[in-house]
Amino acid sequence: MIVAGNDREYSMKKYDIEPLANAHCQTGENPLYDERRRQVFWVDIPQGRLFRYDLASGEWEKIYDDKLVGGFTLQENGDLLLFRDHEFAVRRDNGEVVMLADDIDASTGRFNNVFADAEGRVYAGTMGQPGSAGSGGLFRVDTNGAVIRLWNDTDCANGTGLTPDGKQMYWTDSTGGIIYICDYDRTTGALSHRRVWKRFAKEDGIPDGMAVDTEGCVWSAFWGASCVRRFSPDGELMEEIQLPVEQVSSLTFGGDENNELFITTAGGRDGSDSADGTLYRVRVAAKGQPAFRSKIG
C-alpha cells in the first residue's frame, strides 16, 4: 500500500511481525546481533537486565541482572562491553564483570546508546541531566581506554550509524527530534561539521535507535509512533513498518543474510500480559551493514 506522507508517497508493505521474546522490558534497547554465535543480545536499561536470544534453538535467557546498562557493544574477543551509569566494564562469557573505567564525568547524565566503529573505538552518548537542557552529549572511548568528550550541548543521545563509504556518521538527539550527520575520520575518530540531517515534528514520534543498510538508507525506530521508518540518504521517507506496541526503541540488522531486523520495544512490566517490551523480528528486502566490534583494552 502506498500512503501520502509529509515527505512524499511511501510504502506501507505488509510485513510478518514475529515476536521472539517478551521479557516485559521496561525499556528494551540496544539490540546487537552476534554473527559468530547467531545470537541477539538486548538490554532492559532501568532494570539492569541483559538478555540473549539464540536463533538456532529459538530460546532466550537473562544473562545479566545487576547495575543499570545504558548500552553495550560486542568486543572482538566475544565479551560484552557494558556502559553503565558513569562507568564501563566487560562481561566475560562466564558471567564475570570486570570494571575498566569509573567516575566518568557525570555532568552529561548517564550513558544511553553506544556504537563501535571499524577501528574498535566506541561512541557513547548520554542522557543529559533532568531539567538541564543541552547537558547531554557524546563521548568517544579509544582502544587504549582514553575517554574523550566530543560535545555536551545536546540532550538524550540515541541511534548512531555510519554511511556505507565510512565517511559520515549519523547521530540522534531524541529530545530535540533531530538526526544529525557529521564528517567522520576513520584514522583519528574525529567528528566534524555536525549539521542537521533531518528534523521531526512532535506528531512524527521520537526518533530513537537506528541502523543503516548497504544502500545507505537510514532505518529509525520511532518511540510513541509504533513504527520503524526507512529513509533515503537524502532523508525522504521510503517505507514504514507498523508494530503492535507504541514504544518502539531500537533495531539492528542480523540473521544469516543480514536482512532481518531485530526490534526492541518498551513499556512492559513484570506480571503483565501485554506485548509491550517484546523483542520482534521482521524480514525485509534490504541488507544491513555488518556491525563492528569494540576493541577497548
Which of 155, 208, 213, 276 is labelled catalytic?
208
Q: What is the torsional sign of CA 142, 145, 147, 148?
A: negative
CA 248 – CA 276 distance, rounded (Å)? 9
The C-alpha angle with vertex 164 and arms to 160 and 166, in degrees rounded to 5, equals 75
* DSSP letter (8 states) at residue 105: -
**In the block, which residue shows the cell 559520515?**
168
Task: Give residues with Cβ within 8 angstroms of 39, minimum separation 6.
Answer: 33, 52, 53, 54, 55
Q: Are 136 and 176 in contact (CB under 8 A)?
A: no
* Active-site residue, 234 included: no
Give the chain's largest Cα–Cα span: 52
Active-site residues, by number, are 208
